[in-house]
């Protein structure tokens, strides 16, 4: 049984037209017969009413009180009822396969959500543990077509004709303003449902007790050929755990989800909606990105640009995996399969089609059927998505024209992946390390920053200020975790004294220490001046050989002028050390007439040397300044720099962040001027973004798990038409949220 043998809802697929014995029943209405045999398969005479505004439109109540556990009543048009009549004799394709020997769940009180469902035994991933039947089905055009009172009368008749009306009438309600109880119950508990091609709503009384979560542990598996559903576990569910499903599409950002859920009269407090600000922002960012990329795929298909479509589709696949939306993983494999099919690469298409099926089977979304793969591939050739394959809602309607996929630039060595990833020989594409993205892994995977995090004291005014308007300007800095208090973070940064702003950096810059107890991204507050005017450009690094922190900077002690002004003198790089970040040894001069020190220890477990590698800015070899140097987990070397192409072009920004890399610090170095590491646009978690006038002094904060994953990017930034500047900290990838969660900053 199943879709392969009977199908009245739409035209039968070509392959099935030989099924000549099968006929759909003719429409029946209130004018036909007076005995149950005349109304078969319905047990009650249809009660019909013409639509208020369009007398040619007729709706009837169709009931079969023997269907399922409590009967079914459908309010719909006679043609739709005729089409769906065969669904009454059908069972869930493949059967329910529900293990009823030990009950798997119970309905319990669950304040403040009303009732809810909990697991009473362990439920395995992909297990179907509940089955239910549609009990009231309502054509969505009915309420609009009817006078309210008449509409309510038919809703009550539908409920009364069930074998157990109380099972429906006792369900939860959510609207304080509801005029009618049945209408409120349907509004609170129904799923949207397509019957005969028209939008309906369907009520499943048992499933209706399951509450919502945005990252649910179960889903409802519908059948296209019967009124049954089953509820299947997305993952293992433990005894006592609440069983949840999602009432809304699972790929929307939080605000949209909250808005959609208000229809059910509650504010969602599930774990995804109440996660830390950074996690919510990261999740929203991925979801918005998925939506934007879906648009890109559609646009690229419209423009017959297969390369862009495939690239965007791959990116979506990575994002839905990261965001853990299993249904979308399956549909994304199918999207890729369809794209490759259109491009004539049937081998790759078949591989992805199989992966899509495997993912669906793995989740319990479909049962195994040997003819699935050929049916799905056949569906790829059809102009419209046909109904002969058991699919999810795929968001794409594919253009029927063939289009070409041009080979991507690909990679042949890890250098092609900027040494920030590896070149996969099978895929001939880069697999980027966490924190990096783009075809050549040279772009930081930046996530939205939080406004007023980092160190932003540009709104400060002090009695000692010579000038108002620039606040306590600062200019980039280093994040350091306190050695004895893991939840305390220090930022060692340059701060301009007396409110003199960035323009007065020389001679007003001081080196200060600020503290954050709210995580590495801050916000930081001033704690201590480490070196007074004039000291600038601190880079602070832990030296394992010394067992101390080393602070490299430029500057000299001067008498602070008493008006804001700019002064010029040669720079000297000096170094100081500290065990606790609070008390520092006097600075010792290292190098004359150079600036921007970038140290990194050459120490490793095999070679426990005290030697430091010190990069400086001297000749602008790469049209760049502000180097930040590091060695990665593979022992390769990298720089992040302020790319001066903007200044060369007589502009500030937007192309400000560049990356250079080498296998050995002696070189040869490759300066990547193709893909930017970052630019001057910063997205914020409040949904706004800022295009900065200047964004310089890059520094990275890395994970402490040995993987050298970049977790935060620190920059000195200045907005357009402002004399103040501040230190911006932007999270990178999912690692920032994970790092904060591990430390208990939720
Ligand atoms: C389909 S019913 C779920 C079962 C319902 N709790 C009951 O008592 O019958 C939907 C209603 O449950 C409540 N609900 C479901 N999920 C919830 C959640 N995540 N947070 C708060 N209330 C929720 C809301 O009142 C919503 O209108």
Same domain? For 520 and 605 the reply is: yes
- Domain count of the chain? 3
CA 345 to ligand 1 center in whole angstroms = 47
Same domain? For 372 and 231 the reply is: no
| pLDDT, the chain, mean | 86
Write out pLDDT tens, residues 351-380.
999 999 999 888 888 888 888 898 888 878
For residue 170, is it within any domain?
yes
CA 213 to ligand 1 center in whole angstroms = 10
Query: Would the pLDDT of 457 be above 50?
Result: yes
Residue to mutate (ligand 1; options 185, 264, 271; most atoms within 8 A of CB)? 264
For residue 665, is it within any domain?
yes
For residue 437, is it within any domain?
no
Residue range 464-471: mean pLDDT, rounded: 91
Look at ligand 1, atom 22, and give the residue with the nearest C-alpha.
113
**pLDDT of 651:** 63
Ligand 1 atom closest to the Cα of residue 172 is: 9
Look at ligand 1, atom 26, and give the residue with the nearest C-alpha.
264
Write out pLDDT tens, residues 672-690.
878 899 999 999 999 899 9
pLDDT: which is higher, 578 or 429: 578
HEC string of 639-703 equals EEEEECHHHHCCCCCCCCEEEEEECCCCCCCEEECCCCCECCEEEECCCCEEECCEEEEEEEEEC
Look at ligand 1, atom 20, and give the residue with the nearest C-alpha.
268
| Number of Cβ within a 10 Å radius of residue 593 | 10
CA 179 to ligand 1 center in whole angstroms = 20
Residue range 464-492: mean pLDDT, rounded: 95
Query: Would the pLDDT of 392 be above 60?
Result: no
Same domain? For 390 and 449 the reply is: no
Which pLDDT band holds residue 322 (cuts at 50, 70, 90)?
confident
Same domain? For 399 and 449 the reply is: no
CA distance 642 to 655: 9
Same domain? For 259 and 348 the reply is: no
**pLDDT of 407:** 36
Residue to mutate (ligand 1; options 212, 229, 247, 274; most atoms within 8 A of CB)? 212
Q: In what order do the strands lie in the sheet with 105-109?
A: 105-109, 115-119, 242-245, 211-212
Parent domain of 134: 25-264
The residue among 731, 673, 722 whose CA lies nearest residue 703 is 731
Same domain? For 241 and 203 the reply is: yes
Query: Would the pLDDT of 16 be above 50?
Result: no
Picking from 264, 295, 330, the residue at the C-terminal end of a domain is 264
**pLDDT of 654:** 80
Ligand 1 atom closest to the Cα of residue 115 is: 8
Look at ligand 1, atom 15, and give the residue with the nearest C-alpha.
211
Same domain? For 195 and 101 the reply is: yes
Residue to mutate (ligand 1; options 110, 114, 208; most atoms within 8 A of CB)? 114
For residue 724, is it within any domain?
yes
For residue 491, is it within any domain?
yes
**pLDDT of 305:** 80
H-type helices in 202-305, by residue range? 254-261, 277-302
For residue 233, is it within any domain?
yes
Same domain? For 478 and 575 the reply is: yes
CA distance 543 to 290: 42
Write out pLDDT tens, residues 576-593.
999 999 999 999 999 998
CB 285 within 8 A of CB 731: no
CB-side neighbour CA atoms (13 Å) of 525: 3
**pLDDT of 223:** 82
CA 212 to ligand 1 center in whole angstroms = 7
The residue among 569, 264, 638 whose CA lies nearest residue 418 is 638
Same domain? For 310 and 394 the reply is: yes
For residue 271, is it within any domain?
no
Picking from 408, 431, 455, the residue at the C-terminal end of a domain is 408
CA 394 to ligand 1 center in whole angstroms = 28
For residue 20, is it within any domain?
no
Look at ligand 1, atom 23, and give the residue with the nearest C-alpha.
113
Give me the percent of the chain exceeding a pLDDT of 70: 90
Write out residues with Cβ below 6 Å of ligand 1.
113-116, 171-172, 174, 188-189, 208-209, 211-213, 264-266, 268-270
Write out pLDDT tens, residues 181-231.
998 898 888 887 888 878 888 899 999 999 999 999 998 888 878 899 999
CA 132 to ligand 1 center in whole angstroms = 18
Look at ligand 1, atom 13, and give the residue with the nearest C-alpha.
113
**CATH assignment at residue 717:** 2.115.10.20
Same domain? For 382 and 458 the reply is: no
pLDDT: which is higher, 643 or 46: 46
> Which two tokens mark 446?
């930046």
Write out pLDDT tens, residues 606-656.
889 999 999 888 755 567 889 999 999 999 999 999 987 766 556 677 889
E strand or H helix that includes residue 144 = helix 142-145
**CATH assignment at residue 380:** 1.25.40
**CATH assignment at residue 82:** 2.170.270.10
**pLDDT of 544:** 95
Residue to mutate (ligand 1; options 168, 172, 178; most atoms within 8 A of CB)? 172
CA 460 to ligand 1 center in whole angstroms = 47
Picking from 408, 433, 468, the residue at the C-terminal end of a domain is 408
Query: Would the pLDDT of 541 be above 90?
Result: yes
Same domain? For 498 and 537 the reply is: yes
CA distance 72 to 203: 10
Same domain? For 78 and 193 the reply is: yes
Alpha-carbon torsion angle 304, 308, 311, 314, nearest 10? -50
């Amino acid at each position: 049984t199943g879709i392969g043998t009977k199908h009245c809802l739409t035209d039968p697929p070509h392959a099935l037209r030989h099924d000549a014995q099968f006929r759909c029943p003719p429409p029946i209405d209130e004018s036909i017969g007076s005995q149950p045999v005349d109304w078969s398969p319905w047990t009650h005479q249809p009660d019909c009413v013409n639509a208020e505004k369009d007398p040619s439109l007729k709706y009837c109540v169709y009931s079969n009180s023997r269907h399922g556990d409590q009967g079914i009543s459908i309010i719909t048009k006679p043609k739709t009822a005729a089409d769906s009549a065969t669904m009454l004799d059908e069972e869930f394709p493949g059967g329910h396969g529900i293990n009823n020997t030990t009950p798997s769940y119970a309905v319990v009180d669950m304040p403040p959500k009303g009732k809810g469902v909990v697991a009473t035994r362990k439920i395995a991933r992909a297990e179907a543990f509940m089955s239910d039947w549609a009990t009231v089905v309502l054509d969505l055009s009915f309420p609009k077509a009817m006078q309210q009172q008449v509409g309510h009368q038919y809703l009550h008749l539908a409920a009364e004709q069930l074998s157990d009306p109380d099972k429906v009438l006792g369900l939860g309600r959510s609207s304080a303003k509801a005029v009618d109880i049945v209408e409120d119950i349907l509004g609170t508990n129904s799923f949207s449902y397509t019957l005969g091609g028209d939008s309906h709503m369907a009520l499943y009384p048992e499933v209706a007790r399951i509450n919502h979560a945005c990252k649910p542990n179960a889903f409802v598996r519908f059948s296209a050929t019967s009124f049954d559903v089953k509820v299947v576990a997305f993952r293992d569910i433990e005894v006592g755990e609440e069983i949840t499903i999602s009432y809304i599409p699972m790929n929307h950002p939080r605000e949209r989800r909250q808005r959609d859920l208000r229809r059910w009269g509650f504010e969602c407090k599930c774990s995804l909606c109440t996660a830390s600000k950074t996690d919510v922002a990261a999740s929203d960012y991925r979801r918005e990105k998925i939506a934007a990329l879906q648009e890109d795929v559609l646009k690229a298909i419209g423009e017959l640009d297969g390369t862009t479509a495939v690239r965007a589709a791959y990116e979506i696949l990575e994002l839905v995996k990261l965001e853990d939306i299993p249904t979308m993983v399956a549909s994304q494999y199918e999207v890729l399969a369809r794209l490759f099919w259109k491009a004539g690469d049937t081998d790759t298409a078949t591989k992805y089609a199989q992966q899509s099926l495997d993912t669906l089977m793995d989740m319990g979304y479909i049962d195994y059927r040997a003819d699935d793969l050929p049916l799905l591939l056949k569906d790829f050739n059809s102009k419209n998505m046909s109904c002969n394959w058991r699919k999810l809602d795929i968001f794409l309607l594919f253009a029927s024209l063939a289009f070409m996929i041009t080979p991507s630039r690909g990679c042949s060595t890890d250098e092609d992946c900027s040494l920030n990833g590896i070149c996969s020989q099978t895929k001939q594409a880069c697999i980027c390390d966490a924190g990096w993205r783009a075809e050549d892994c040279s772009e930081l995977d930046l996530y939205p920053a939080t406004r007023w995090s980092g160190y932003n004291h540009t709104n400060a005014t002090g009695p000692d200020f010579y000038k108002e308007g620039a606040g306590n300007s600062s200019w980039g800095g280093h994040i350091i975790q306190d050695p004895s208090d893991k939840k305390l973070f220090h930022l060692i940064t340059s701060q301009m004294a007396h409110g003199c702003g960035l323009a007065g950096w020389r001679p007003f810059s001081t080196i200060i220490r600020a503290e954050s107890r709210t995580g590495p991204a801050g916000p930081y507050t001033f704690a201590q001046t480490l070196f007074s005017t004039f000291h600038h450009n601190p880079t602070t690094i832990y030296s394992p050989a010394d067992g101390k922190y080393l602070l490299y900077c430029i500057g000299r002690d001067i008498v602070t002028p008493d008006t804001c002004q700019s002064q010029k003198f040669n720079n000297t790089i000096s170094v100081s050390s500290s065990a606790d970040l609070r008390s520092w040894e006097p600075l010792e001069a290292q190098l004359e007439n150079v600036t921007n020190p970038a140290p990194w220890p050459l120490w490793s477990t095999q070679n426990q040397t005290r030697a430091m590698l010190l990069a400086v800015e001297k000749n602008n070899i790469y049209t760049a300044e502000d180097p930040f140097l590091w060695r990665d987990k593979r022992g390769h070397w990298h720089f992040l720099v302020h790319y001066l192409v903007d200044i060369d072009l007589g502009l500030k920004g937007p192309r400000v962040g560049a990356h250079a890399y080498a296998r050995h610090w002696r070189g040869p170095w490759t300066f990547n001027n193709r893909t930017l590491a970052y630019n001057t646009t910063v997205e914020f978690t409040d949904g706004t973004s800022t295009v900065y006038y200047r964004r310089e002094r890059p520094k990275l904060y890395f994970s402490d798990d040995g993987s050298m994953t970049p977790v935060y990017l620190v920059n000195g930034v200045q907005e357009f038409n402002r004399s103040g500047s501040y230190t911006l900290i932007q999270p990178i990838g999912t690692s920032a949220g994970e790092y904060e969660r591990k430390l208990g900053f939720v």
